Amino acid sequence: MVKGVFVTNEVSSAASHDAGFATRVRSALAWRWGTQVLAQLITWTSTFGVIRILDPADYGLFAMTQAILTALAFMNGYSFATSLIQADNISDRRVGQVFGMLIVAGVMLAVGQLLLAPYAAAYYGQPKVEDMLQVQAVIFLATPFIALPSALLARRIEFRSQGLVNLLCAITGASVALGMAWAGYGVWALVFAPIAMAAVRAIGLTISARLLVWPVFDFRGAWDIISFGGALTLCQLLWIVQSQSDIFIAGRVFSAYDVGIYSTALFLALIISGKFIPPINEVTFPALAELHKGGKPVAPFFIRMLRTVALVTAPLYIGLSVTADAVVPTIAGEKWAEMIPILAGLALAMPFFALQIVCSPATNAIGKPRIYVATSAAGAIIFPTVFLFGISGGPMGLVHAWWIASPLLLAVTLALTLPAIQIRIGDLLKELLPALVGCAIMAGSVLLLKPLVAGLAAPLQLLILVPIGGFAYGASLWVFWPSVMRETWSMLRNRSSDANDIPVSA
C-alpha cells in the first residue's frame, strides 16, 4: 500500500513538473515572440518610411558595411555567454569569467574594425564606407552588456523583460532612423539607428538581469566554456561566410544601386525568418536543454515546433511571392519596381531556410554541437559556391542561387539532425504536409483572382488578395487537418488545447 502511494505521488509530481514546464515554455514563447511581432511592426513602419525617403544606393552602401561588421561579429563572444544556458551549475566566478571574455572580445573587435575600415573602403571602391565602419565600431563595446544578461535570462527561461526591452529598442531605432532620414542625413540614418538600439538594449537587459558581477580576467578553469563557446563561435564564422558571401561578392561586381536593390529585397524576404525565428530558437534551446538534462526526449517538442514554424512561415512567404508586384509599390514606391522579381524569387526559397534555422537548438541542447558545426560548414560551402556561379546573372542570378542552396542545405541539415534526436523523415514529412497543401491551395486561389484586380491600385489589390489568400489557407487546414489547426492556434495563443499541446515526456 505504501509503495502504491509512493508511486502515485511520484507520478503526480512528475505530471505537475511537466505541466509547469509546459506553462513556462508557452509563456516564454508568448512574450518573446509576441513582443517581437510588436517590435517588428514598429520597425517595419519606420523602415518602409525610410525606404521611401532614401535611395537604393544608400542601402547598397549600408549593406557593404554590414557585410564587414557581421564578418567580425563572429568573434564577439556571444557563444561564451550561451555556454551558461546549458551548464548544469554556474557560479559568480564563472559568470565573471564569461563577462571578462566578452569585454576582451568587444574591445578587440572595435579596434580591429577601426583599422580595417580603410581597406574595406578600398575593396568596394566606396570611400564613404570607411567613415561608416569607423562609427559602427562602437556597437562592439555594447556587446558584453547585451550577451551576458540575455544568456542569464534565457537560462531561467525568463523572456518577459527581454521582450519589453526589445520593444523599447524598436521604438528607439525607428525614431532615430525615421527622424534622421527625414532631416536629410541620408545613409547615416541607417548607421546611427542600430547604435542607438544597442545602447538601449545593453542598459535595459543589464537592469533586467540584475547583473551585479564584476568581470574576471583570470580564465583558468574555464576550459569547458571555451570549448563549448569555441564550437559555437566556429559555427558563427561559418554562418557569416554563408550569409554574407552574396553581398561580399556582389559588392565588388555590382553598382551600389544594384547592391541596394538586391540587399533590400533580401532584407524584406528575411524579415520573417531573420526576425521571428531567432526568438523561437532563444526559447527552444534552453527548453530542450532542460528536457534533456531531465532525461526526457526532445523529439516530440522539436517536431511540434518545426511543424508550427512551417504552418506560420510558409504561407507568409508563398503569399509574398505571388503578391510581390503589389507589395513593393505599396511599401517602397515605384522607384523600387526593379525589386519585384527579386523579392518574389527570394520568397520562394525562404520556407526551406526557415526550417533549417530551427534545427540547431535541438542538437546543441543534447550536447552535440558537432552537428551544428557540420551543417554550418555545409552552408559555408554551398552558398558561396552557388553565388559565385550565379553572380554572372546579376541580381536574379543570386536569386536562382538561393533556389539551389536553400533546399540543399535543409536536406543536409535534416540528414544529420533527425537521427540524432530519433525522428524518422516520414514522420516529419507527415507533419509538414498540411503546410504544403495549404500553401498550394492559397497560391492557386490568389493567382486565379489576380487578373480580376490587376487594374486596381497596388494597396487595393493587397486589401483584396491577402484576406482571400489567408481564408483559403485557413479553410484548407480546417477542412483537412482541424486538429492541427486547433493545436497550432492554441500554442500561438499560449493556451493548452489538450494534454499533449507541448509534449514533455514520452
pLDDT of residue 3: 42
pLDDT of residue 503: 31
Give the model's confidence band at 34: pLDDT under 50 very low, under 70 low, under 90 confident, else very high.
low
Q: Given a cut of 70, is residue 84 above it in pLDDT?
A: no
Q: How many CA atoms lie within 13 A of 2 on its CB side?
A: 0
Q: Given a cut of 60, is residue 176 above it in pLDDT?
A: yes
Residue 384 in grid coordinates: 558561396
- List alpha helices for 185-339, DSSP H: 188-208, 223-253, 256-275, 277-293, 299-322, 324-331
Are 151 and 142 in contact by the 8 Å Cβ rule? The answer is no
Give the model's confidence band at 117: pLDDT under 50 very low, under 70 low, under 90 confident, else very high.
very high
pLDDT of residue 376: 87
Over residues 324-352, mean pLDDT: 93
Residue 178 in grid coordinates: 525615421
DSSP string, 458-491: HHHHHHHHHHHHHHHHHHHHHHH-HHHHHHHHHH
pLDDT of residue 409: 95
Q: Rounded CA gap, 32 and 53, in Å? A: 31
Over residues 348-357, mean pLDDT: 92
- pLDDT higher for 202 or 276? 202
User: CA-CA distances (angstroms) from residue 263 to 30, 155, 348?
Assistant: 31, 35, 16
pLDDT of residue 343: 96
Q: Rounded CA gap, 312 and 309, in Å? A: 5
Over residues 18-33, mean pLDDT: 57
pLDDT of residue 491: 56
Give the model's confidence band at 484: pLDDT under 50 very low, under 70 low, under 90 confident, else very high.
confident
User: CA-CA distances (angstroms) from residue 32 to 36, 220, 268, 489?
Assistant: 6, 35, 21, 17
Which of 225, 237, 220, 208 shows the shortest CA–CA distance to 86? 225
284: left (phi over 0), alpha (psi -120 to 50) or beta: alpha
Q: Rounded CA gap, 362 and 355, in Å? A: 13
Are 77 and 129 in contact by the 8 Å Cβ rule? The answer is no
Over residues 282-294, mean pLDDT: 72
Q: Given a cut of 60, is residue 15 above it in pLDDT?
A: no
Are 398 and 246 in contact by the 8 Å Cβ rule? The answer is yes
pTM of the model: 0.70
Give the model's confidence band at 378: pLDDT under 50 very low, under 70 low, under 90 confident, else very high.
very high
